[in-house]
Amino acid sequence: MTTEVTIPEATLAHIQEREGAILGHPPRMAALDRESVAEQVQATTKKLRGAMYADAPPLPLEIIPEIMFVLCKHQALWDAVMALSMELFQNGTLPVRDCELAVLRTGWLLGAPYEFGEHVARAKKAGVTAQEIDRLVEEGSAWDGWSVHDRAILKASEELRADVMITDETWAVLAQSYTEDQLFELCVLVGQFTNVAYFQNALRLRLEPRNPGLSAR
């Protein structure tokens, strides 16, 4: 069985249309006043950044991302969402580059400006080149410049998006280099960042100043 994936166009017009639908309207949930929840949000941010970046310094209150001041209103559920992301980043066994390829492909297929833009920066730090990001967007797993392993990661992300399943062919390629734990981890990773894209898009969370959204490369 083969799974056909509809690849979103990467033209400027498409990007503007998609971002306009999400970001061209007011956010659906207002952020709380920063000073009123400073201690709560600073503690949450420190914990999240510590899981994502080794030895990350504390962020000044004024530059903590707005998302933290929106979702702190729903702290119990937000904590649960973050806990899975932190487990994947802090204790996961997949190479960071592999994770970022999967998240970027998922974010692009979902048309998720916040998620895609944030993870382009992380992907570059993990060694993904601007050319690879461009090809990931334009051609996905079909680009002939990928290694067999990288292509399988992208293909798995595409298949999960299109059919909520990974084909036997793709699974077999991944199983050549992944343990059983890592195969499970990849499925959970794609599912988690599908979930994150859903609420970031639906809430129309505004992009941070350094996040170029879907035009990031």
Taking only the tens place, the pLDDT of each residue in 139-184 is: 999 999 999 999 999 999 999 999 999 999 999 999 999 999 999 9
- Measure CA 54 to chain center: 19
What pLDDT does residue 23 have?
97
Phi-psi region of 172 (alpha: psi -120 to 50; beta: other; left: phi over 0): alpha
Backbone phi and psi for residue 162, each to the nearest 5 degrees, phi listed first? -80, -35
Q: How far apart are CA 95 and CA 4, in angstroms?
A: 27
Which of the residues in the chain have pLDDT under 70? Answer: 1-8
Q: How far apart are CA 91 and CA 70, in angstroms?
A: 27
What pLDDT does residue 11 have?
87
What pLDDT does residue 8 have?
67
- Among the listed residues 123, 118, 115, the one whose alpha carbon sits nearest the alpha carbon of residue 200: 115
What pLDDT does residue 6 have?
53
DSSP for residue 55: T
Catalogue the long-range contacts made by 144-149 (C-beta closer than 8 Å, 24 or more residues apart).
Answer: 148/173, 149/173, 149/174, 149/176, 149/177
Q: What's the pTM?
A: 0.92
Q: How far apart are CA 51 and CA 88, in angstroms?
A: 9
Q: Could you please state the CATH topology (level 3) that the domain comprising 12-215 is classified under.
A: AhpD-like (1.20.1290)
